[in-house]
Amino acid sequence: MPFTTFMPQALDEARAAAARGEVPVGAVIVSAHGEILATAGNETREGHDPTAHAEILAIRRACSGIRSERLTNCTLWVTLEPCPMCAAAIAHARIARLYYGASDPKSGGIETGPRLYDHPNLHHKPEIITGIEEKECRKILKDFFQLKRFQRDTD
Amino acid sequence: MPFTTFMPQALDEARAAAARGEVPVGAVIVSAHGEILATAGNETREGHDPTAHAEILAIRRACSGIRSERLTNCTLWVTLEPCPMCAAAIAHARIARLYYGASDPKSGGIETGPRLYDHPNLHHKPEIITGIEEKECRKILKDFFQLKRFQRDTD
């Protein structure tokens, strides 16, 4: 089967988040049959919800849709390396494979800092594929924070 | 000011969770003025939501109530040591103080495993007070899993 990427859809969610003034991260959850179960972008600001990262929202929506607290055999596509909260949620949901774009040395929880999946008390570890459309994933974030700084400095 | 404990309310939430067949963990969020902003017990099973731990639900409810993604100066009381997902969410919400009852060597994220607050890319670390009504917090969990095993073995 040829490799099908869902990063374009995750990037669309990231761009939509930026347009709403949210940190531009987007996520997509895909079933074993290649069906999109959920998409989400960050909603922490508008939702007044510090847990409303793209990954958490996508997991909650996908689980609600299939009426299960497990997303076994599903894949999660996200533009940025998940933070420790999201990395642990991915383990709780038993997601099989995690594809992400840009690394996050400042707030990531997988390659850096607590390196969550290196610990046995995370009772599940997804297969991890990194660097998918990394340049574009990183550019959206860089542009967003540059614009924020410009707006703040010219305020 | 005398020490006011909110662990009895957290224990009530844990008992209510057990009665619903959920892993009995309960949480309470209290404002700087001693007002209860939110209470929650685990809802992962009934909510088909692997992120619906007591702490996450309490944070979401408290933030929604005050229309802010920050719970600065608030305290969180929870019967069990938070897992890495919840420990990171507590940091995201900027909760000032975390009181918990029982330690969780198997799935905890603070004293054990990834020891989340030991890493600088968690950009906030609450003050932590452990062992509050530890015996009762632990007993509720032990009784719940003993009953589950008994039900399974006699099924």
pLDDT at A44 over 80: yes
| Subunit contact A122:B113, Cβ cutoff 8 A | yes
pLDDT at B109 over 70: yes
Encode B6-39: b = buried (16+ Cβ within 10 Å), e = exposed.
Answer: bbebbbebbbbbbeeebbbbbbbbbeeeeeebbb
pLDDT at B86 over 70: yes
Which of A118, A121, A125 would you mutate first to test chain B, the one with the most B CBs within 10 A? A121
- SS3 for chain B is CCCCCCHHHHHHHHHHHHHCCCCCCEEEEECCCCCEEEEEECCCCCCCCCCCCHHHHHHHHHHHHHCCCCCCCCEEEEEECCCHHHHHHHHHCCCCEEEEEECCCCCCCCCCCCCHHHCCCCCCCCEEEECCCHHHHHHHHHHHHHHHHHHHHCC
A108: nearest CA in chain B? B121
Strand partners, A130: A100
Encode B78-102: b = buried (16+ Cβ within 10 Å), e = exposed.
Answer: bbbbbbbbbbbbbbbbbbeebbbbb
Distance in angstroms (rounded) separating the CA atoms of residues B46 and A85: 21
Chain A residues with beta carbon closer than 8 angstroms to that of B86: 85
Question: Are the C-beta atoms of B13 and B136 separated by less than 8 Å?
Answer: no
Using pLDDT thresholds of 50, 70 and 90, give the confidence band for residue A1: low
ipTM score assigned to the predicted complex: 0.95
Question: Are the C-beta atoms of B131 and B101 separated by less than 8 Å?
Answer: yes
* Options B43, B55, B81, B133, the catalytic residue: B55
- Name the percent of chain B lying above pLDDT 70: 99
Over range A72-94, report the average pLDDT.
Answer: 98
Distance in angstroms (rounded) separating the CA atoms of residues A117 and A98: 12
Chain A residues with beta carbon closer than 8 angstroms to that of B112: 121
| Subunit contact A89:B64, Cβ cutoff 8 A | no
Size of interface A-B (CB pairs under 8 A): 122
Sequence-separated (6 or more) residues with CB below 8 Å from residue A46: A20, A21, A22
Give the pLDDT confidence of A89-106 residue by residue, as tens digits.
999 999 999 999 999 999
Global confidence as pTM: 0.96
| Subunit contact B87:A84, Cβ cutoff 8 A | yes
Using pLDDT thresholds of 50, 70 and 90, give the confidence band for residue A74: very high
Q: Taking the CA of residue A42 as centre, how many other CA atoms within 13 Å lie in the half-sphere pointing to its CB?
A: 22
| Subunit contact B109:A93, Cβ cutoff 8 A | no
Provide the chain A residues 53-72 that lie in CB contact (below 8 A) with chain B.
56, 59-60, 63-64, 66-70
Give the pLDDT confidence of A57-71 residue by residue, as tens digits.
999 999 999 999 999
Res A120: pLDDT:
85
Provide the chain A residues 96-115 that lie in CB contact (below 8 A) with chain B.
105-109, 112-115
| Subunit contact B69:A50, Cβ cutoff 8 A | yes
Alpha-carbon distance A147 to nearest alpha carbon in chain B (angstroms): 22
Determine contact: B82 vs chain A, CB below 8 A. Answer: no
pLDDT at B153 over 70: yes
Res A155: pLDDT:
75
Kindly list the distances between the CA atom of residue B85 and the CA atoms of A63, B91, B92, in Å, as whole numbers in the listed order: 17, 10, 11
